[in-house]
Amino acid sequence: MSSVESAKKLAAYRAVDENFPPAAKVVGIGSGSTVIYVAERIGQLDNKSDFVCIPTGFQSQQLIIDNGLRLGTIEQFPHIDIAFDGADEVAPNLDCIKGGGACLFQEKLVAAAADKFIVVADYRKKSEVLGRQWTQGIPIEIVPNAYAKVINDLKKLGAKKVDLRSGGKAKAGPVITDNHNFLLDADFGDVKDAKKLHDEIKALVGVVETGLFTDLAQKAYFGEENGEVSTWTK
C-alpha cells in the first residue's frame, strides 16, 4: 500500500474508533477514496444491525451495501447522529473544499443534517489557506441550463478561471452529478473568507450548492506520511 493510501486508512480507522457513538442510530457515509476505509471500519462493528447508514451519492450507497451495512435515505432519516466524509482541502478552522468527486450537494445535505461531522483525509489536504492545495477551483453544482450565465456571474465575483467540469475520456461532454446537474470549478485563488464567498456564490440564480463547507466539521483526522494520525479540532 502506498504512503498516501495507508494514510487514508489510518485516518479513517482512527476517526471511526474515536468517534462512533455506541448508541448511534443514523450514520452518514461520505464519498471518495478515503471514506472507503470509514465504511470498511464501520462494517467491522458487531452491532451493525442497530443503525442505518445514509449515503451521499451512488458510490457511497455501494460502499454501504458492500460492507453489509443497513441502507437508509435522508428522506426517512433527516436527523443524523454522526457523519464521516473526506475533503479536498481543509483549513485550520475546519472550513473545507469538497466536491472533487462531484458529490458535494448530497455531502452537504448529510453534513448539515448531522449532529457531528468528522472529516477524514491524508496529509496532502491540510492547508493554511483554502485554494492553495486544491488549485483546480471551488466545485459548484449548478442547474444545467444556467451554466453560461453562472460562469459570467462567477467571473464578475472575481473568479480567475471557471471550467465546466468535463467527463474527460470517460464521457464526452460535462460530468452529470447524482442529482442530474452540471459542475463548475471556479478558481478564486486564496479563499480568505470562505463563508462570505460561499454566500455570494450561493446567491447566484442557477447555483444549487457550493463545495465550500463552513461551520460544519467538528474534527478532522489526517493520516500522516510517517504513519501517525494528527487531528484538528474546532
Catalytic residues: 107
Provide the minimum distance between the beta carbon of 141 and ligand 5RP in the complex, in angstroms, as a whole number: 10
Which is nearer to ligand 5RP, 133 or 149 (by Cβ)? 133
* Cell numbers given for 186: 471556479
Chosen residue from 33, 133, 136, 231 binding ligand 5RP by CB under 6 A? 33
Cβ neighbours of residue 224 under 8 Å, at least 6 residues apart? 7, 10, 123, 230
- Cβ of residue 17: shortest distance to ligand 5RP, in angstroms? 18
Furthest CA-CA distance within the chain: 53
Question: Would you tell me how many other CB atoms lie within 10 Å of the CB of residue 127?
Answer: 21
User: Rounded to 5 degrees, what are φ and ψ at 220?
Assistant: -125, 135
Q: Residues, the chain, total?
A: 234
Let me know: does 50 contact 72? Beta carbons within 8 Å: no
140 forms part of the interface with ligand 5RP (CB under 6 A): no
* 55: contact with ligand 5RP by CB under 6 A: no
| Residues between 80 and 109 that touch ligand 5RP (CB under 6 A) | 85-88, 98-104, 107
Smallest gap from Cβ 88 to ligand 5RP, in A, equals 5
Phi, psi of 127 (to 5 degrees): -150, 140
Alpha-carbon distance 33 to 47, whole Å?
25
Q: Which helix (H) or strand (E) holds 85?
A: strand 80-85
Closest by CA to 211, choosing from 165, 153, 168, is: 165
> Binding to ligand 5RP by residue 72, rule CB under 6 A?
no
> How near is the Cβ of 22 to ligand 5RP at its closest, in Å?
26
Cβ neighbour number for residue 75 with a 10 Å cutoff = 7
209 binds ligand 5RP (CB under 6 A): no
Binding status of residue 28 toward ligand 5RP by CB under 6 A? no
Q: Which of 28, 32, 55, 137 binds ligand 5RP (CB under 6 A)?
A: 32
Block residue for cell numbers 453489509: 68
Provide the 8-state DSSP code for 16.
H
Does residue 138 bind ligand 5RP (CB under 6 A)?
no
Q: Which of 31, 61, 67, 210 binds ligand 5RP (CB under 6 A)?
A: 31
From the list 31-39, 148-156, 166-174, 225-233, the region that binds ligand 5RP by CB under 6 A is 31-39
Among 28, 30, 137, 223, binds ligand 5RP (CB under 6 A): 30
Residues contributing to the site for ligand 5RP (CB under 6 A) = 30-34, 85-88, 98-104, 107
